[in-house]
Amino acid sequence: MPDNVLEIKGITKKFGGLTALSKLDLEVEQGSIHAIIGPNGSGKTTFFNVITGLYVPDEGSVIFCGKDVTGTVPYKMARLGMGRTFQTIFLFKQMTVLENVLIGLQSESEYKLINNMIMTPKRQLYEKELHEKAYELLAFVGLYDQRNDIACNLPYGKQRLLEVARAMGINPKIILLDEPAAGMNPQETSELIERVKNIRNKYNMTVLIIEHDMKLVMQLADTITCLDHGSVIACGNPKIVTKDSKVVEAYLGIVGEKDTIEYNKVD
């Protein structure tokens, strides 16, 4: 396994006359928590969509675990070990909380149609193992007691946690979290910080996170990359990046001697 689980080389993505990403380079170290920040419209979610295969870049390459996966379709990216959540929540809303996680767990199933029609002892054991893993993941995100609830009936913040559990169900090498704290109250955000740390520490997953809550980012990230107008304007240690004049200007529109990003007010 290479030191960098993900390498982005010269990625450009255009939509008509709009350049959303411009010759973007980025490396994500294996076992790290790497945060992507930037003002609205800076290309953060487009970046995630290119990595996961929803968009094919116009230029450049995506290297995942040492393999060029540029343009690989999303379901194949999931099987290679890349999980993600979405800025706009994407759940199977009329299914139960448990069923949503089971879908993620079954992504690697090699059962054929006939195997799904006949409940053999082997299949029963497999289903039992899936349920036990689903219960573990739901307990991890604090949703075990709601496992039989319909997903759309969960509060907004808990729906985001359900997305995290489902993404973890594919046992990814890297998990991409797109604004996971959106819609959460301060207590939920504090709990999320510990859960994201444990995604890395307990489950040995690399985390790439887009987040506007700078207080959360500063408590989590080993490395921060800041985007503006589809380009990297700063990358490195969180304390240094958040004081970088180009980063401050991108967020605040002005730069002065005492300008700095207020960690709890960037949105």
Domain ranges of the chain: 4-92+170-252
Grade residue 126 by pLDDT with cuts at 50, 70 and 90. confident
**Mean pLDDT calculated for residue range 36-52:** 95
DSSP output for 59-95: EEEEEETTEE-TT--HHHHHHHTEEE--SS----TTS
pLDDT at 38 over 50: yes
Cβ neighbours of 128 (radius 10 Å): 10
Task: Measure Cα distances from 80 to 5, 31, 76, 107, 138 in Å.
Answer: 12, 17, 6, 11, 23
- Which CATH number is 4-92+170-252 given? 3.40.50.300
For residue 129, give every residue at least 6 positions away whose Cβ sits within 8 Å of its Cβ, in sequence order, or none.
none
- What is the value of pTM for the model shown? 0.88
User: What pLDDT, on a 0 to 100 scale, did the predictor assign at position 87?
Assistant: 87
Q: Are strands 18-29 and 231-236 parallel, antiparallel or unpaired?
A: unpaired
Mind listing the pLDDT tens digit for each residue in 96-113?
Answer: 999 999 988 887 666 565
SS3 of 6, please? strand
pLDDT at 1 over 50: no
Q: Tell me the helices (H) and strands (E) count for the chain, helix number first.
A: 10, 10
